[in-house]
């Protein structure tokens, strides 16, 4: 149990990678606060945690609403007295090139991918400093370390997420707070449903990842959860300000 009795918040934990990460943290002994905009999805993750013998609770949270983030972090500190791990995972993808992404799409990308992670970290940091340390993990993407076509809102926001994690890392390292970014490539979760529809079905996307990714496949959410466990536990105790890419070699190729 590498996270025994740690108190962990995971945003966007109602589905996909966030859910797999929350389950993995609970399996390793953490009490997980499952924060998702979709209340039912959050409850379902908690039910799965309990079914596996773990501990956790759901707090319905829309990270686009400041008051929700304040209630999430403040309530966690009130109920549990500490916060060891903050994984800001909720994020959105607004696709398209410059001329097709309206200002609203750019704003939403920045609010949810960047600003929400900033605000959650800003609220968590004083408590982490006071208790002698903590871990912050922010989900970026391999689109935060390379450039893909027609992705202006997503790519710029994910590059910014990594810059923000690095800035926090150097500013708070002396307080024993480690901050890293997670950069998955293609992962088989509902996040990619719009692409599956756009490409004409699952067979088409399977062919696409076979061709595009050196490892010839996409990841499962559970594979990404292993990297999450590494980054939020003492197994990465001397690692801060890093962007860990888990993408089957796509960004190298
Ligand atoms: P997913 O669609 O399976 O789950 C996302 C969850 O986030 C959902 O439960 C949704 O309700 C929740 N959510 C969305 N907006 C929210 C908000 N405003 N407040 C709170 N919760 C909200 O997605 P996933 O595969 O877990 O991916 C999500 C994150 O991972 C994003 O940050 C994304 O950029 C990143 N990512 C995903 C992939 C991939 O291929 N799946 C690759 C790289 C990066």
98: pLDDT strictly greater than 90: yes
| Residue owning the nearest CA to atom 10 of ligand 1 | 12
Provide the 8-state DSSP code for 218. Answer: P
Ligand 1 atom nearest to 113, measured from its CA: 32
Whose tokens are 């990270």? That residue is 63
Instruction: Say what the pLDDT of residue 10 is.
Output: 99
What is the share, in percent, of the chain residues with pLDDT greater than 90?
98
Tell me whether 0.85 is exceeded by the ipTM: yes
Instruction: Say what the pLDDT of residue 148 is.
Output: 87
| Positions marked catalytic | 154
| Residue owning the nearest CA to atom 12 of ligand 1 | 12
Close Cβ partners of 112 (under 8 Å, ≥ 6 residues apart):
63, 64, 90, 91, 92
At 218-250, the pLDDT tens digits run 999 999 999 999 999 999 999 999 999 999 999
Instruction: Say what the pLDDT of residue 152 is.
Output: 97
At 1-17, the pLDDT tens digits run 999 999 999 999 999 99
- Pocket test of ligand 1: the residue of 11, 17, 107, 217 to mutate, having most ligand atoms within 8 Å of its CB, is 17
The answer to whether the CB of 17 is under 6 A from ligand 1 is yes
206: pLDDT strictly greater than 90: yes
* Ligand 1: centre distance to CA 174 (Å): 31
* Ligand 1: centre distance to CA 15 (Å): 7
The answer to whether the CB of 248 is under 6 A from ligand 1 is no
What Cα–Cα distance (Å) separates residue 122 from each residue in 3, 17, 193, 221? 23, 23, 32, 28
For residue 21, give the nearest of 198, 171, 174, 187 by alpha carbon.
Answer: 187
For residue 248, give the nearest of 206, 205, 210, 218 by alpha carbon.
Answer: 218
Give the burial class of 48: count Cβ atoms within 10 A of its Cβ; 0-12 exposed, 13-18 middle, 19 or more buried.
middle
The answer to whether the CB of 213 is under 6 A from ligand 1 is no
> What band does 184 get if pLDDT is binned at 50, 70 and 90?
very high
Instruction: Say what the pLDDT of residue 141 is.
Output: 98
* Ligand 1: centre distance to CA 241 (Å): 22
Predicted model pTM: 0.98
């Amino acid at each position: 149990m590498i996270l025994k009795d740690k108190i962990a918040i995971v945003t966007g934990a109602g589905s996909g990678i966030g859910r797999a990460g929350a389950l993995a943290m609970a399996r390793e002994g953490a009490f997980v606060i499952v924060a998702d905009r979709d209340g039912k999805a959050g409850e379902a993750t908690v039910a799965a945690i309990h079914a596996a013998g773990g501990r956790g609770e759901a707090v319905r949270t829309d990270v686009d609403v400041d008051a929700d983030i304040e209630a999430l972090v403040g309530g966690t500190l009130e109920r549990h007295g500490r916060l060891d791990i903050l994984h800001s995972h909720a994020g959105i993808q607004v696709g398209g090139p410059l001329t097709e992404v309206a200002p609203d799409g750019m704003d939403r990308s920045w609010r949810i991918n960047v600003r929400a992670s900033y605000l959650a970290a800003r609220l968590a940091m004083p408590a982490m400093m006071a208790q002698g340390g903590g871990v912050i993990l922010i989900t970026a993407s391999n689109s935060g370390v390379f450039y893909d076509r027609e992705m202006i809102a997503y790519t710029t926001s994910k590059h910014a997420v990594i810059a923000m994690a690095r800035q926090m890392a150097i500013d708070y390292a002396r307080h024993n707070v480690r901050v890293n970014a997670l950069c998955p490539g293609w992962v088989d979760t509902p996040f990619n449903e719009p692409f599956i529809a756009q490409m004409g079905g699952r067979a088409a996307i399977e062919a696409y990842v076979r061709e595009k990714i050196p490892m010839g496949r996409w990841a499962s959410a559970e594979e990404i959860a292993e990297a999450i466990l590494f980054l939020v536990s003492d197994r990465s105790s001397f690692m801060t300000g890093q962007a860990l890419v888990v993408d089957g070699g796509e960004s190298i190729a």
